[in-house]
Amino acid sequence: MIAAILSLSAIYVMLAVGFVIVYRTSHVLNFAHGDVFMVSGYLGFALITTISLPPYWALPVSLAGGAISGLLIYAVLMAPMAGHSIFAAVLVTIALGMAIRGLALVGFKGQVTYPGRILSIEDAPYTIVPGVTLTTIEILIVLSAIVVMVALTLFFRYSPWGIRMRAASQDPRLAAYRGINIHAVFAGAWVIASAVAMYAGTLYSFSKQLSPSLSDVALRGLAVALVGGMDSMKGVVPAAIAVAAIELLVQRYGSPQMAEAIPFLIVLLVLLIRPWGLFGTKEMIDRI
Amino acid sequence: MGTRRSGYFKADYAADLALLDTPFRRVLVGLLVLAVLAVPQVAGKYVVYVCNLTFIAIMGAIALNLLTGYAGQISLGHSAFLAVGGFVSYHFAKLGLGFVPVVVITTAIGALIGVVVGAPALRLRGLYLVLGTVGFHYVVFFLVNEYQTSGDDVLMKLTGLLLPVPDLGFVKLRNEFQWYYFLLGMLALVTCFAVNLVRTRVGRAWIAVRDRDITAAALGIDVGRYKLLAFVVSSALTSMTGALLAYVVGSVSAEYYTLTLSITYLAMVVVGGAGSILGSYLGAIFVSMLPYAITWLFESLGVSTRTQMVYLVPSQIVVFGLIMILFLIFEPRGLVGIWQRVRAYFELWPLRKSILSERK
Amino acid sequence: MTMAGTDMAGGQAVQATAPPLLKVTNLEVVYHRAATAVQGVSIKVDQGTITAIVGTNGAGKTTTLAAIAGFMRADDVHITQGDVLFDGIQIKELPNYRISALGISLVPERDKIFKVLSVEDNLAACVPGRGTEGVMSRADVYQLFPALASRRGTVAGYLSGGERQMLAIAMTLLSRPKLIMIDEMSLGLAPVIVAQLQESVRTLRREFGISFLIVEQNAATALEIAEYTYVLENGRVVFDGTRDRLLGHDDFQEFYLGIERGGEQKSYKDIKQYRRKRRWFG
């Protein structure tokens, strides 16, 4: 149980980080995020089977592919929306998500497969501490999430470009006056978010299954981001663990369908009680 | 050209209040109404059925446009409210209530749920309604699924829950042709309601909130209340549409109400023209006709029927997404924007000046 | 309109023949393709001088500065006419960060610091200049502004007005600018603080040869520091000159310094006539 919570929350961490980074820099809720996550599983699987790439090589490839698609999404779709309302930008991400979902259905016929089993990826169980047994892939998922979190935290706290991203998200105009290329900064946010999402998508498809409903999994990452605070990096981990734990408990004692709905019920409750999330800044929320 | 409006000549309030302002327009709309009324006389059963579903889509698009286009709030809960409409209708119809009370009760429950879901999200500025409605969607999806599968009838789980034939008292809506006229009447009612609502204080308040909420608040508009009002009106109308949809189809089934359906309705609003009732018509008709256009395209390309079966829905989804993106980037005012430009071109011809053709 | 580089009061003597550092000619700026905010403004800033722009609200001062520093794509503001030459380079169509890299830094009137970042991070966020005359480090900046050094961990939003202005100027220094533009430098600050800021400006000019273009509403404050001043009204330069010329100008005294002459005030009618006269001959 603890092992399952660990690996699910690690996936949620990698998803929520993407939502938070994009929201923090450009205040756009990226509804295409889940579909990017989903399609990367399919692309990775297709790549492995068609050019017989060793499965683990698909991970760096998906990281790079995610970076490129993040850049493309920003340059082609988001940059032209500068000056339009944020609502229009959000609608664009919703439409993009729909288009990606459709393309995945056209390209891969919406098949449900189990890449981990089909590719017979080495997945031996290890007992970390008594009672907690993780498989190789799950260990990789948890380690990746830790690396991503630590790297991003250090990046935003200490590196000049991380600080510039924070600066540009607070006041893009002043950032531009102070010599920051804000389009590069915004593009950077999309690149990081998409790269992590695609990497996580490939990894998730290895450990669980591959199906179009992966984009619903990713939307639960949005629930995690809200619970942690849409603008808060440090809220991501506790929120991911909390949501994953509740979800899996409900799955065990309730039903799988109920477990899928639970994160969204949490969304409604958070909006009611504490809309800025666990660690978000209260000032970011303007009440009317 | 002499009967076309060539400028703004309204000299009194009565003229300004009139919806159809020139004799030419009155004749035009009159002819259009006659043509629409005549459709069932010449068309077959299938065409009329497609028209019925399109009428439903238009009502749904109007409901969403009031919220998204006029009040500027994005909702992904549209399909959830349609589901609420369908399932609540089924429930009350099973209890033995007649068609009219069922629809009325469903509408009221839709409004009530709108208050409950909208109130927490709409006191906040920004994108919280999208989040709230996504959450709402999944919760409703779960609940209606449970409702549908908890029944004793095994067959119902597969076919969906069946609704009785609606009885209006003087007539039973048994076939497509009767439905056609009934839905046309409903659509006329909804349109009149929406067109007049957006011309009143409420509509102006919504537009003010959409364009700049801080300014709206400074003008004395209670922003939170008007946003909530928009959501409640939209939810009520959507639930009513959901009820009608369930009755027209004759059954409700949970798997129909996906998030993609919500996005499809958003696509209608965006493609038709956000903030325009005419836009809701154009968008809903466009989106409803798209599957037929794609089928026709497949046919003319000689694609086999089996391949068509596989690819029809996915390619439809791709096309919706792409068209929505194209409109958002290149023509944010939608088909209505294009239509207005074309009209302005002819009204002003040959004295066309670019700045005038861009007017609102 | 003669630019008198030689008779400036405090700065180093610059030859009158040297090309100006910044040369704005016949600038016209239109907002949202509808409202003209600046129409035909021409301004020069010579190397090593402090120049001021004064004018009332809506005169087009801020727009002029923003036009020089570059508009953002999202703003829907465009330079429809005129040239902006900096060091002889046309910078009109360049993005903000390129203009900043060339050596122009703008301190905006309001949001001039990153409020949620610490003082240290505010400075770290600024892209350092790649000029040849040596790089300025954060340590150098703290030496110039000791008051900031003691508050480097403070979130910038908690600084006082004077400290904010100081931090804002300090931030511009990191890019090694040749020209610093300050919008409303003294607005809302206590006279002591204003004097301190003016002293900092003079020091920076003296030590690093930085030129300044300062916007002020208060003409008297502008004249305290600027060697050359432009007066903007309704998006046009209505007159300009050195400190002595402006101080000796009757209309300037009356309308911008509020000095009454001979005990009798001119009537409203005279003001109208004055404006008309200026429109015809100015």
pLDDT tens for each residue of B77-123: 999 999 999 999 999 998 888 899 999 999 999 999 999 988 887 87
Please name the residue of chain A whose CA is at the shortest distance from the CA of residue B268.
Answer: A95
Show which of residues 110-139 on chain A sit within 8 Å of chain B, judged by CB atoms: 110
Which of A158, A173, A178 to substitute to test the interface with C, most C CBs within 10 Å? A178
Nearest to A96 among B217, B260, B325 (CB): B325
Cross-chain residue pair C114–A166, CB shorter than 8 Å: yes
User: Chain B within 8 Å of A94 (Cβ-Cβ)?
Assistant: yes
Q: CA-CA distances (angstroms) from residue C84 to A98, C40, C78, C94?
A: 46, 12, 13, 10
CB < 8 Å to C96, chain A: 176-177, 179, 182
The model's confidence at residue A14, banded by pLDDT at 50, 70 and 90, is very high
Contact (Cβ atoms closer than 8 angstroms) between residue A267 and residue A228: no
d(CA A83, CA A170): 16
Q: Tell if the CB–CB gap between C127 and A164 is shorter than 8 Å.
A: yes
What is the model's pLDDT at position A285? 53
Residues of C in contact with A284 (CB under 8 A): none
Dist. CA C209–CA C177, nearest whole Å:
10
Is the Cβ of A27 closer than 8 Å to some Cβ of chain B?
A: yes
Strands A132-135 and A125-129: antiparallel
Which chain A positions have a beta carbon within 8 Å of C124's beta carbon?
160, 163
Residue A181 domain-assigned (yes or no)? yes
Chosen from A262, A268, A269, A284 to mutate, greatest number of chain B CBs within 10 A: A268
d(CA C79, CA B128): 37
Amino acid at the residue B325: I
Distance separating alpha carbons of residues B225 and C210, to the nearest angstrom? 54
CB-based contact, A180 to chain B, within 8 Å? no
CA A10 to chain centre: 10
CB A102 within 8 A of CB B317: yes
CB B243, CB B60: distance < 8 Å: no
Closest CA to A200 of A24, A12, A54: A12
Strand order, beta sheet including C104-107: C104-107, C179-183, C211-216, C50-55, C228-233, C236-242
The CA distance from C180 to the nearest CA of chain A, in Å, is 11
Q: What is the predicted ipTM? A: 0.88
3-class DSSP assignment, residue B151: coil
Which residues, 6 or more positions from A240, have their beta carbon under 8 angstroms from its beta carbon?
A: A9, A10, A12, A13, A16, A224, A228
Q: Which residue of A has its CA nearest to B139?
A: A261
Spell out which chain A residues touch chain C, with contact meaning CB-CB distance below 8 angstroms: 82-83, 160, 163-164, 166-167, 170-182, 281
A95/B contact by beta carbon, under 8 A: yes
Under 8 Å between Cβ of A26 and A169: yes
Q: Helices (DSSP H) in chain B: which residue ranges?
A: 13-17, 23-42, 45-65, 78-94, 99-122, 128-150, 154-159, 176-199, 201-211, 213-218, 223-249, 259-272, 277-301, 305-330, 334-348, 354-357
Domain span at residue A137 reads: 2-213
Measured between beta carbons, the chain C residues lying within 8 angstroms of A176 are 70, 72, 95-97, 100
How many residue pairs bridge chain A and chain B with CB atoms within 8 Å of each other? 152
Does the beta-carbon distance from B136 to A100 stay under 8 Å? Answer: no
CA distance C14 to A22: 50
Residue B15 has a pLDDT of 66
Q: What is the dihedral of CA B232, B238, B240, B244, to 10 degrees?
A: 180
For chain C, residues with pLDDT lower than 70 are 1-17, 130-135, 258-282
Nearest to A94 among B132, B143, B266 (CB): B266
d(Cα B307, Cα A3) in Å, to the nearest integer? 43
Whether the CB-CB separation of C44 and C78 falls below 8 Å is answered with: no
Best A157, A171, A177, A186 member to test C by mutation, with max C CBs in 10 Å, is A177
Could you read off the pLDDT of A131-145 as tens digits, one per residue? 777 888 888 999 999
- Name every chain A residue with its beta carbon within 8 A of the beta carbon of B135: 223, 264-268, 271
Please name the member of C72, C122, C175 whose beta carbon is closest to the beta carbon of A176.
C72
Distance from CA of B47 to the nearest CA of A (A): 27
For residue A98, give the nearest of B125, B146, B260 by CB distance.
Answer: B260
pLDDT at residue B220, as a whole number? 86
Which tokens sit at C244?
């002595």
Joined together, the tokens standing for residue B91 give 């429930």
Q: Does C175 contact A178 at a Cβ distance shorter than 8 Å?
A: yes
CB contact under 8 A, B142 and A106: no
Residue A98 C-alpha, separation from nearest chain C C-alpha, in angstroms: 27
Chain B nearest-CA residue for A257:
B142
A contact chains, 3+ CB pairs < 8 A: B, C
Dig out the tokens for B301 from the structure: 């390309």
Q: Token digits for A214?
A: 């992966």
User: Which chains are within 8 Å of C by 3+ CB pairs?
Assistant: A
Q: Tell me how close the Cα of C127 comes to any Cα of chain A, in angstroms.
A: 5
Which of A183, A229, A226, A163 is closest to A26 using CA atoms? A183
Helix (H, G, I), strand (E, B) or coil at C35: strand
**Is C74–A160 a contact, with Cβ atoms under 8 angstroms apart?**
no
In the prediction, which pLDDT does C13 show? 45
Q: Is A246 on the interface with B (CB under 8 A)?
A: no
Instruction: Determine whether the interchain pair A177/C106 forms a contact, defined as Cβ–Cβ distance below 8 Å.
Output: yes
| Chain centroid offset of residue A53 CA | 25
How many structural domains does chain A have? 1
Q: How many Cα atoms are found within 13 Å in the side-chain-facing hemisphere of B103?
A: 17
Structure tokens at B276: 């325009």
Q: B222: distance to nearest CA of chain A, Å?
A: 8
Domain membership of residue A135 (yes or no) is yes
Residue A179: which of C111, C112, C126 has the nearest Cβ? C126
> What mean pLDDT is reported for chain B?
85
**pLDDT tens for residues B51-71?**
999 999 999 999 999 999 999
pLDDT score of B212 more than 90: no
Specify which of A144-148, B33-37, B255-259, C273-277 reaches the highest per-range mean pLDDT. A144-148
Token pair 């923090």 is found at A24
Look-up of token digits 């990153």: C114
CB count within 10 Å of CB B356 equals 12
The letter for the amino acid at C120 is E
Judged against a pLDDT cut of 60, whether residue B330 lies above it is answered with: yes
Question: What's the pLDDT at C10?
Answer: 41
Q: Do B325 and A81 touch (CB under 8 A)?
A: no
Cβ of C125 and A164 within 8 Å?
Answer: yes
Q: Which residue of B has its CA nearest to A104?
A: B314
CB-CB neighbors (< 8 A) of A99 in chain B? 317-318, 320-322, 325
User: What pLDDT is recorded for position A115?
Assistant: 81
Question: Per-residue pLDDT for B300 more than 60?
Answer: yes
C108: helix, strand or coil = coil
Instruction: Name the residue with higher pLDDT: B65 or B298.
Output: B65
Helix axes B176-199, B277-301, angle to 10 degrees: 140
Neighbour-count burial of C267, counting CB atoms closer than 10 A to its CB (0-12 exposed, 13-18 middle, 19+ buried)? exposed
Whole-number pLDDT of residue C239: 82
Record: contact A91-B324, CB cut-off 8 A: yes
Q: How far is B278 from chain A (nearest CA, A)?
A: 20
Residue A237 belongs to some domain of the structure:
no
Q: What is the pLDDT of residue B316?
A: 86
Give the burial class of C5: count Cβ atoms within 10 A of its Cβ; 0-12 exposed, 13-18 middle, 19 or more buried: buried
Residue C15: predicted pLDDT: 47
Mean pLDDT of A167-181: 91
pLDDT at B360: 35
Cis previous bond, B350, omega within 30: yes
Six token digits for residue B295: 């089928």
Name every residue in C having a CB less than 8 A away from some CB of A. 69-70, 72-76, 95-97, 100-101, 105-106, 108, 111-117, 121-122, 124-127, 129, 171-172, 175
Q: Is the pLDDT of residue B198 over 80?
A: yes
Domain ranges (residues) in chain B: 40-254, 258-360
For residue B44, give every residue at least 6 positions away whose Cβ sits within 8 Å of its Cβ, in sequence order, or none: none
Mean of the pLDDT values across residues A163-179? Answer: 91
Query: Which of C74, C111, C121 comes nearest A171 by C-beta?
Result: C111
The tens digit of pLDDT for each residue in A230-252 reads: 888 888 999 999 999 999 999 99
pLDDT at A148 over 50: yes
Average pLDDT for chain A? 88
- The neighbour count for residue A66, using CB atoms within 10 Å, is 28
pLDDT of residue C282: 44
Residue B4, SS3? coil
